[in-house]
Structures are given as structure tokens and as C-alpha cells.
Amino acid sequence: MGSLLRRLLFLFRRDRLDRDLEEELRFHEEMTAQSLADDMGGDEARAAARRRLGHSLQLRERAREPWTFVTVETLVQDVRHALRLMRRDPAFTLTALATLALGIGLSTAIFSVAYGVLWRPLPYPHPDRLVILSAAQQAEKGVKTIWTWAPVSYEALAQRLGAFDHLAAYVSIEAQLTGRGEPLQVPAVEVSPNFFTTLGVGPVRGRSFLTAAGAAEDDRAAIVSDRLWRSALKADPAIVGQSITINGVPRTVVGVLPPRFSFRPVIRAGTLPEADVFLPSRSPGDQGRSAFLYLLGRLKPAVTKERAEAELTALVNDPSVVAPGALAPEGVLAPNVRTIARTAGLQEYGAGPVRTLLLVVLGAVAFVLLIACVNVANLQMARLTARRGELSVRMALGAGRRRVVRQLLTETIVLSLAGAAFGVLLARIAIDLTLPLVPQAVLPRLGRIEIDGGVLAFSVALTLVSGLLIGLVPALRVSRTALADGRALHAGEARTTGDGPGERLRTLLVVGQVAMTLVLLIGAGLLMHSFVRLTSVSPGFEASGRDGVVSTVRVMLPETFFDGPERIHAFARGVLDRIRYLPGVKSASLVNSPPFGRMFIQGEFSIEGQPKPDFDAGRPKIAAGYFRTMGIPLLAGREFTEADTADASKVAIVSERIVRECFPGGPGEALGRRVRLDGLNDASEWMTVVGVVADIRHMGLDRDVQPMIYVPFQQDRSDFVRLVSFVARTTTPATVVEGIRTEIRRAAPDLAITAAVTMDEAVAASVAPPRFRMLVLGLFALAATLIATCGIYGLMAYAVTQRRREIGVRVALGAERRDVLRLVLGRALRVVAAGVVLGLAGAVAVTRVLRTFLFGVTPTDPLAFTVVTAVLMAVGLIAAWMPARRATRIDPVEALRAE
């Protein structure tokens, strides 16, 4: 464009143009003077001409405007002006900066977490094509979804998939690395050979697993992460080809993954920590009906999920492809019901459990930011009112309203940018400090969580929007009144006083602020009430009491050390005998799957002489003294004893729930009857019921009590006894746990100890997600309340200053201190009450999103609503108290004289 070129040229010839313009205008002035001189005297004419030419400075500016990139030039000017003003008013600047830094910092931190978990592309090529396969059936109580597949189903599907480029399988396992320093528990996954091909990322050293014909060769291979290679394997450059021992089995390292590689196994309840060891799947040839493999598919380009699902659905309903009856942790697919195959994006699936939470938190933080913006806007408004004189003069001198608004907006945007700089810094620190403390169970993360370009762009956008929000309303409002003042000034009239509309607007803003704060507070209140409800539920066992606390130490016994049930039984018996005599141990026992321990094995069972029950029962394997140690009341019969050995007659203890469902005559009726475990690989013979115990909650406080059939550890020969948790009730948990470790090490030196926790800790961990939700929302509500308190205080303090005269008159006319207090507090109360009404309406509409997080509390819980409302009203009154006190001290004489 020619004009653009000319304007660019101007940038270099600016001086000349200025000079030209200057001379031209002088010429014009003289010519005008000459022509006027014909009518009047010389001097008079010159003065008149100059007057005519008027604001010559402004004229020059405006004449130059077409040439310049006006916005850039005035922007620089405005920014300088803004910085100057910020320096001149440090109190305002600091308050505004702190508020904005808090608001923008919180938003940035939360957004970076949400972005990392929900949206950041996974570190694989075309991550959008990676999907997890599931099967769903319409059941009585909604849709039943099964996420894991039997190895036979995987093999059959992998042979016939048209919609997928690759279909891989994985299962996360517990693994111990031994022989390289201390035994080490490492996150591991067993994967199908094509796993890395499916992800699209493979080892940088060595090779991937061999597929097809070579697969058998890789039976004892392992691929390790860069992290493990650098730490436990000491970054040995010749590691490929060397042997490492995993779960007692020597394996050859065939590959090392690249440094930025990351795979967090996605499982039903979220994600597990990043895997460090990848082993080839043992599943080929497994004809079992246990469904434990997660299937990860890579869709062919241009194949939609819908097409893939249609194709899969046809396959899963074919009994020759997916054999019916495969048992997954979620249950069994019914044989005669149509099964629908589903595909869920890897990220979508992994983030599923926290998606709602993160969106809620994002919403909450947006509220906090808005509330913060309102505060700064109000401050700005008050400040602009004070600066009205300056603005009027500028407008009287010819500054356009638009120009003034633009300058005021620049001020607030500069302010919010500065706030954002601090905010981002704050966010960095907050993320670095808090994120490592948040467990994977609470916040599954697939991608990295960090403040990168994308997050920064979001912050900048947020900042500009905040700047506009803060600046626009006050600027428009004040520039209008200033314009009127300016005109008045021009006409030589006195400046008008009073500030009605501005104050009304400020009041409205604070009302909005109170409303938003109330919504946040009610959200936090609901979660808090729900949390109290949840934690007051009894788990059914006594995690801690007068006799001390229950500590557990868990180990897993690999096949290599313990090749049969006899060795396992002997090991368990030996260690337990010694633990019982450790100093400080009140009682001790063991169990294969302790409550609140992540694992729950349940299955079908039968009762002799009765139709088969239509529900499943848990089947923990326990040693003598278990109920005494755990503090589970025995309701009838006896506990297991040392006499219930492998050779003795088979016995079982059932829980109250089973009695309730199956023995209408009560516990007495159950004693002496015979029960049998069916289905799984721990199917048993008939066992005589010798005792009835109280119910416990096994999976979580928010779950129903589980029907249980307890079996003596020594009488169970299944693989399920490879998991052993020693439990001990003690008043000195630390030394006892150390003692148990020592005993285990003495019996099996190469065994890694998986976990040592007290039952209190286990229960606490199970309520970690709701506690986390409560804390996060509570924190935001607190921040919002603090900011809103400042808002109310600011409004009232300002109002008192503005109404000094009015109050002075009232006092002069005999108003008591009490009346003045009532005047100010009454006004504050009206503002807060208006906000509360608005907020209550908003909360009723909004708290529904919390429904899935609430336990025993409805989204419109009256207790939370009333308590929170009362608290906020009180806070509002306290905020208004100081300005009210100041109002009572106004001296009428002085107040009246000041005007």
C-alpha cells in the first residue's frame, strides 16, 4: 500500500515534516493577522489571529496524526504516564498489585494444572488417535462398564482389527529391583510386544520388544526408563545386554527409553506413577478367564471413533472372539446381553476422575479473579474521583474523551501486567511447592504440569481482560463527569461536586463481589459438611484406640522365592510368630488384602442347601487373632486359631451382611452351615462357618459395607496369598514397624517391603481426594472472603469520607454516637444483604455441579447455606465497623468548616 509506505517513510523524516508543518502554520497565522489587520490594529490583529489558531499545540498534534502510527506513539506516552502515576501513589499501587498478583497467580496456577491434566497433548505422535477400549452393558442399575480384557480376548481382537493400526495391551504390576544396591520398589508394566510401536515412541538405546516370531526370545527381556537408567543403573553406557533382577527373575535389558519419554499407566481410578520398567507380557497362551489387561489402540488415520466402536461392537458380541464370563475387577459381562464396545481417548480416560473437579476449581478461581478485579476497579474508581480535577483540566485543554479513556485504560492494563508478572512468579512457586504433595490418586496426571508458552499466553489474555474490566467502567464513568466539569471549567463556572452515580456503581460492584464470595463460600461449606459426614462414618474396625494403633507392613512374595503355598504358609507363620513377641505388640496377625488397601478380591459363593446368592462376597485370607488385632467385633462363634491349619477341617467366618441376606434366623443360624467360594482361582471346598463378625467398609467410607467370607490363611492354596500384610496393634508403631521389617528381612533378605502404613493413614488416604477438594475450594473461598472484606471496608471508608459533611450536620443536630453507627453499619448491612440474596440465588443454581462430590449432603444443604450466610454477614459488619467508628468521631464543627 502506498499510504503505508509513505507513513513508514515518515518515521525517518519526521523532523522535516515537523518543521514543514511549523512553518506552514506560522505562515497561516501571519496571513490571517494581515487580513485582520485591514479591519483592526496590528497588535490586536496578531493576538486575535493567535487566538483563532487557538490550541496550536493540539493542532500540530492532530495534523501529525495521519502520519504516525498513533496508537504506538500515544501508547508509549500513556505507559510512561501510568508508570509515573504508579510511583506517585505507592499505597494504591501496592494494594492493587498484590490483589492482582493473587488473582492472576492463582488463576495461572490452576490453569496450568488443568491444562497439564486435561488438555496438554501427550508426548506421543498423534496422541488423539490413542484410545482405551472398554465394553459396556445395560444393567439394572445403569450402565456397567468393564475396562479390562482377558488375554484370549486381546489375542482374538488383535488379529481382526481393521480400524486400528496397532492394538497393544498393558497391565501395571508391582515390581522389585534387587541386586543393584538396596532392594527397590519400581513402578512397572507388563506390555504386549507392540506396545511402543502403538505409542509411537521407542527406546533410544538398544531396541524395542520383538514381535511375532521373535516374541518368545524376549521372554526374559526388560526395557527401562531413562530415569531408572540414570539412578539405580548408574547411567551405565553398556547397560544394554546386561542383566537386572526383577521380582527375583534375572532379565536382560534390551532397551533404554528416551529422557522425555513418559508413560503413566491409565487405570480405572486414574493414573499410576510413571512406569520405570517395561516387561514383555506373560499373557500369550493364557487361556484363563481373568480379565486384567488394558487395551490401548491406535486408530488408523481418518477412522472415526464411531466407526471403530461399531466394528468392535460386532466383534465383542461374537463368543468366538470374546469368550463370555471373563472376570474383571468391575465384574463379569452378562452372557446374553448385547455388549457395546467403547473407545475413550487416552487422555480423556486418564483425566476422567478429576475432569469435573478441575473444571469446578477453574470456575472457582475465575470467581476469585473477578472479585479481585472488582476490588481494584473500586480502588481505581475512588482514585479517579480524586483525580477528577486533573482530568477535567485535561479535557478543558482539549483532550478528547476517547483519548482520556484510552489513557486510563492503559493505566489499568499496565497495572495488571505488573500484577501478572508477580502473579506468574507466585504461580511458579505455588506449583513447585504444592504439586509434589498432591498424590497421583488425588490428581492423576498424564502430561507435564508446568507454566509454558501456552499457559503464559492464557495468563496474558487473562491479564488484558482484567485490565479492561478494571479500567473500562471507571474510565467511562469518570471521563463523562470530568467532561462536564471540563465544560464548566471552560465556561468559568465552579466545578460541580457530589458523586452520586459513581458511588452507586461502586456499591453495585461490591454487591456483586459479596454475591460471588457467598457462592464460593457455600461451595466450600458444602464440601466441608460432606467431609465431616464422611469422616464420621465408622469403618467397622478400630484403627486406633486405647490399646494402640494398627500398623500394617505389606510384602509381595514372588514365585521365584516361594514356589508353592507351603513355602508361603511357612514364611508367613514364621514371621508372624516372631512379631507376636516383639516388645510393644499387643496382638498381631496377617491378611492378604487389608481394608483400605487398594485391593479387593470378591467373587461368587454358595451356601449349602440354599439357592446361590445373587451377590458377590469378599474373601480375605487371615491368620488367627485378626479380628482382635483389627478391633472387629465377633458377634457369634469363634475366631480362627492356630489349630485351623492346612490339614484341619476347612472353616470360614462370615460377616453380618451375609447373615442378614442369607440367614434370616440371625448369627446362630449361620454357625455350623457350610459355604463355598466359587469362580476364581481360589475356589474352595465346602467350609464350615465357625464364627460371625461385624461388617466393615473395605473400599472406602463412602461405600456400603461389603459381604465377607473370611478364610484361614493357612488353608488357602491360591496365588492370592502371595500378598501378605502383617498387622499389629501397638502403642509404639514406629519401633514395631521397624521390628517387623527386621523380621521379614531375616526370613527373606531379598524381599522388598511394599508399604508400611497405619490403618489410620490408610483411612486418611482414602479420604484424601475429598479433603483435597475441600481444602482447594476452602482456600479460594477464604481468599475471596478476604478480598471482599477489603472491598466492603473500602466502600464504607470512602462513603464515610464523602459524607463527612452530612454526618457532621446530623451530629450537630443532635444525632447520638449510636445513630451514626447505625447509619453506617445499616448501609453496610444493606449492601451485604443485597449481595447475599443475589449469592444465595446463584448458589442454588450453581452448587449442583458439586453433586458428585457430596456425601450425605444435598447441594442445597440448609446447614451449609445458613452457617455460611451468617458468617459472611458477620464478616461484612466487621469490615464496616472501623469506618463506622471513624464516622462517630467526626467533629461537626470541623466537618462543616472544611467545605
Partner 1 sequence: MNETKGKNELLPGTLEMLILKTLSIQPMHGYGIAQHIRTISRSVLTVEEGSLYPALQRMLVKGWVSAEWKVSANNRRARFYTLTPAGRKQLGVEESRFSQVFGAIMRVMKTT
What are the phi and psi torsion angles at 807 (to 5°)? Answer: -65, -40
Question: Considering the complex, what minimum distance in angstroms separates the CB of residue 7 from partner 1?
Answer: 6
Site string for partner 1, 122-161 (x = CB under 8 A): ----------------------------------------
Contact between 432 and partner 1 per CB under 8 A: no
By CB under 8 A, is residue 210 in contact with partner 1? no
* Residue 63 lies near partner 1 (rule: CB under 8 A): yes
Place of cell 466450600: 524
The answer to whether 361 touches 114, Cβ cutoff 8 Å, is yes
179 binds partner 1 (CB under 8 A): no
Taking CB under 8 A as the rule, does residue 73 contact partner 1? Answer: no
Stated as kind and residue range, the H or E segment containing 533 is: helix 500-535
CA–CA distance, 131 with 304 (Å, rounded to integer): 11
Neighbour tally for 432: CB within 10 Å: 11
Q: Does 62 bind partner 1 (CB under 8 A)?
A: yes
Give least dist CB 380 to partner 1, A.
Answer: 24
- Give residue 738's Cα distance to chain centre: 35
C-alpha cell, 581: 513377641
The nearest distance, CB 2 to partner 1, in angstroms, is 5
Identity of the residue, 64 or 160, whose beta carbon is nearer to partner 1 in the bound complex: 64
| 46 lies in the binding site for partner 1 (CB under 8 A) | no
Residue closer to partner 1 (CB basis): 57 or 898: 57
285: alpha, beta or left, given left = phi > 0 and alpha = psi -120 to 50?
left
Residues whose CB falls within 8 Å of the CB of residue 474, separated by 6 or more in sequence, listed in order: 377, 380, 381, 384, 408
Near partner 1 by CB under 8 A, which window of 47-55, 84-92, 474-482, 728-736? 47-55
Cα separation of the two ends of the chain: 60
Span interacting with partner 1, options 368-376, 394-402, 671-679, 848-856, rule CB under 8 A: 394-402
Rule CB under 8 A: is residue 52 a binding residue for partner 1? yes
Q: Is 484 in the site for partner 1 (CB under 8 A)?
A: no
Q: Which is nearer to partner 1, 54 or 90 (CB)?
A: 54
Distance CA 118, CA 832 (A): 37
Q: How far is the CB of 446 from partner 1 (least distance, A)?
A: 55
21 binds partner 1 (CB under 8 A): yes
Angstrom distance (rounded) from CA 585 to CA 729: 6
Nearer to partner 1, 19 or 234 (CB): 19
Contacts of 390 by beta carbon, 8 Å cutoff, 6+ apart = none
Tell me which residues in 589-648 interact with partner 1 (CB under 8 A).
none
261, 228 contact by CB (below 8 A): no
50 binds partner 1 (CB under 8 A): no
Q: Which of 329, 353, 400, 892 binds partner 1 (CB under 8 A)?
A: 400
Q: Which stretch binds partner 1 (CB under 8 A): 49-57, 369-377, 435-443, 781-789?
A: 49-57
* Contact between 393 and partner 1 per CB under 8 A: no
CA atoms within 13 A on the CB side of 114: 19
Number of residues that bind partner 1 (CB under 8 A): 29
Q: Does the footprint of partner 1 cover residue 69 (CB under 8 A)?
A: no
Where helices occur in 595-666 by DSSP H, the ranges are 626-630, 656-662
Residue 27 beta carbon to partner 1: minimum distance, rounded to whole angstroms: 5
Return the residue of 2, 241, 611, 862 that touches partner 1, per CB under 8 A: 2
Stretch of 20-28, 283-291, 694-702, 833-841 contacting partner 1, by CB under 8 A: 20-28
User: Helices (DSSP H) in 186-321: which residue ranges?
Assistant: 195-199, 226-230, 305-316
CA triple 700-706-707, angle to 5 deg: 165
Cα separation of 258 and 274, whole Å?
Answer: 14
Please list, residue by residue across 568-599, b when 16 or more beta carbons sit within 10 angstroms of its beta carbon and e when fewer do: bbebbeebbebbeebeebbbbbbbbbbbbbee
Cβ at position 530, least distance to partner 1 in Å: 60
CB of 403 vs partner 1, minimal distance in Å: 9
Closest CB to partner 1 among 37 and 210? 37
Between 50 and 126, CB nearer to partner 1: 50
In the complex, least distance from residue 447 CB atom to partner 1, rounded to whole angstroms: 51
Helix (H) or strand (E) holding 150: none
Do 600 and 593 touch, CB atoms closer than 8 A? yes
CA proximity to 31, closest of 18, 41, 46, 44: 46
Which one among 47, 59, 425, 829 touches partner 1, defined by CB under 8 A? Answer: 59
The answer to the question of residue 98 lying near partner 1 (CB under 8 A) is no
Contact status: 64 vs partner 1 (CB under 8 A): yes
Binding range to partner 1, per CB under 8 A, among 17-25, 349-357, 410-418, 625-633? 17-25
Q: Does 66 bind partner 1 (CB under 8 A)?
A: yes
User: For residues 30 and 661, which CB has a smaller minimum distance to partner 1 in the complex?
Assistant: 30
| Cα four-point dihedral sign 14, 20, 23, 29 | negative
* Residue 184 Rama label (left phi>0; alpha psi -120 to 50; beta): beta
Of 897, 877, 765, whose CA–CA distance to 832 is shortest?
877
Binding site for partner 1 (CB under 8 A): 2-3, 6-7, 20-21, 23-25, 27-28, 30-32, 52-55, 58-59, 62-67, 398, 400-401
